[in-house]
Chain A
């Protein structure tokens, strides 16, 4: 088990390096520097700006400096509580923003990321809370109207993507009935529509996967044995079948979390939520490269870490995987 975990952690290092290298050279080789769009600046100011952003160094030095700045150098996770400061906690420095020279990307991330994480967390809860019961119900009542209802609900969820569902929900429940606000992120009530919208799509997938996994497990011999021994239906489902039946769901959680994080770009745009996703889209249009790179690398790191956790949970649930 520890060898497996160790190997998986080592594997993430080249992946992170590929991402950092790719993004770094992508932004270095695009036509037009970050300051060409600004109104004309005097050569002295330009020189100062370039010095401030280390653009005068040779390329290899810029690259190695950048990688070094992004490298975790210390480990004080407790410092995160104090305003989510990645530099104080891990020594990760995303450098100053290109667009707002007096703010660092670290500060902007610290201000925006909690909102996105909250949105994502609630959405994941919605996805699991809706998807698992629906899928289990469909599998247990297989080929009855309950199954057909659950399965068609799931299909609807997959075919009505977030950017369709979100505006439609706003139209119906905010503009017409006025139960919710169309946008904003203040009270708990403002969480309802965005989290439902974002969670719904993944709930649909999870329901389908749960149904498939449960149907497969419920047809196994050991379930028949449990039935023969007189175990109650609830015990069979919750105690015997669920562990195996949830395996496909657990392996889907990695992609789901990645999807929820990127999906928040759209949700935050629709509902005007002040999170990192909307900031990313704005920065992309502003060509604020350090901010864009910082967000990409941060999200990539988050997704890769969560994938790692998912893999470990998977092996824990299904020890056969260890040997593959």
Chain B
């Protein structure tokens, strides 16, 4: 894109520019985010789902409670979304499965975040040879087919849920490292950092007050977009039977069970599929909205 600096443009206005009024990046971003209806809707749905997943199971029937006499029954007033072949309430199971899926999504994202930010920031701050070697390693790791690698881990080391967090986190940190490193590199060279240095601020103050707030935006955006992709990977593995194991359950497991018995009991497939897609939808819309709101370059266009 061609960017014109103000002095290249014929200016119809007096040369004195109005001083920027004191909007911080965050108030600006918040204002822009509120204007984006899809993102707001996404945020509200995400919050509702979070609350449902984590508080709902306290009030609903226990997810493992069986009623073998009832068997699989279609949606009714007693069981809003019907029951599965063991007579377990699908709504309760959905809440519980959603909780597990979301937990995997959040924890694996935190793992990816921790590794990625540390690695990327170290590379960005060090610069020079260290940076080159570190990013070369990331490049090489990018070439590895990681989904297969995660499957392999799950095959060889048993289907342990903690391993799942680690394995997915280990896959997803690469992009985060790249983003943080690029951001640190570009912020480091900016004039306000130089100004801060000239004013005699210490290294610590520069890092925490000036660099980190400016790196945070892309990190937040990428984090919201990582959660759905982690949930997708978890559901993919669970669908193959390599992820979350019974008696635990996740949305992927429920979709798998539903797909196995969809010829007789359509509701066992349709509701888990719908709720999973809804979760992904709202997280993606929220992430896209945040990206538009926090992307400083786009906002000045």
Q: Which positions in A face B, CB cutoff 8 Å? A: 11-12, 14-15, 18-19, 22-23, 26-27, 30, 155, 158-161, 163-164, 166-168, 170-171, 175, 216, 219-221, 258-259, 261-262, 265-266, 269-270, 280-281, 284-285, 287, 292, 296, 299-300, 303-304, 307
Q: Which positions in B face A, CB cutoff 8 Å? A: 1-2, 140, 143-145, 147-149, 151-153, 155-157, 228, 232, 235-236, 239-242, 252, 255-256, 258-259, 262-263, 266, 269-270, 273, 276-277, 280-281, 284-285
- A287–B2 Cα distance when bound, in Å, is 57
Q: Dominant SS at the B interface?
A: helix
- A249–B207 Cα distance when bound, in Å, is 37
Within the complex, which residue of B148, B156, B258 is in contact with A167, where a contact is CB–CB below 8 Å? B258
Closest partner residue, chain B, to A266 (CB atom): B239
Please, could you name 16 A-B residue pairs with CB atoms under 8 Å apart, sorted by A?
A18-B144, A23-B152, A27-B156, A30-B156, A155-B285, A159-B280, A160-B277, A161-B235, A163-B239, A163-B255, A163-B256, A219-B1, A261-B145, A262-B147, A292-B155, A299-B145
Q: Which 5 A-B pairs have the closest CB atoms?
A: A167-B259, A159-B280, A284-B155, A262-B147, A163-B239
- A155–B266 Cα distance when bound, in Å, is 25
Extra 13 A-B pairs, beta carbons < 8 Å, given A219-B1, A296-B145:
A12-B143, A18-B144, A155-B284, A163-B235, A163-B236, A163-B259, A167-B259, A168-B273, A221-B2, A262-B147, A281-B242, A284-B155, A300-B148
**When the two chains form their complex, are residues B239 and A159 in contact, meaning their CB atoms are under 8 A apart?**
no
**When the two chains form their complex, are residues A296 and B152 in contact, meaning their CB atoms are under 8 A apart?**
yes
Closest partner residue, chain B, to A287 (CB atom): B155
Inter-chain contact total with CB atoms closer than 8 Å = 106
Closest partner residue, chain A, to B260 (CB atom): A167
**When the two chains form their complex, are residues A300 and B240 in contact, meaning their CB atoms are under 8 A apart?**
no
- A45–B39 Cα distance when bound, in Å, is 65
Closest partner residue, chain B, to A23 (CB atom): B152
**When the two chains form their complex, are residues A304 and B152 in contact, meaning their CB atoms are under 8 A apart?**
no
Most chain B CB neighbours (cut-off 10 Å) among A155, A167, A262, A280? A167
Q: How far is the CB of B280 from chain A (nearest CB, A)?
A: 4
**When the two chains form their complex, are residues B236 and A266 in contact, meaning their CB atoms are under 8 A apart?**
yes
| Known A167-B259, A167-B269, A168-B270: A19·B144 in contact at CB below 8 Å | yes
- Cβ contacts under 8 Å, A27 to chain B: 156
**When the two chains form their complex, are residues A175 and B263 in contact, meaning their CB atoms are under 8 A apart?**
yes
- A154–B157 Cα distance when bound, in Å, is 37
Q: How far is the CB of A82 from chain B (nearest CB, A)?
A: 28
| Known A26-B156, A167-B258: A266·B145 in contact at CB below 8 Å | no
- A167–B149 Cα distance when bound, in Å, is 26
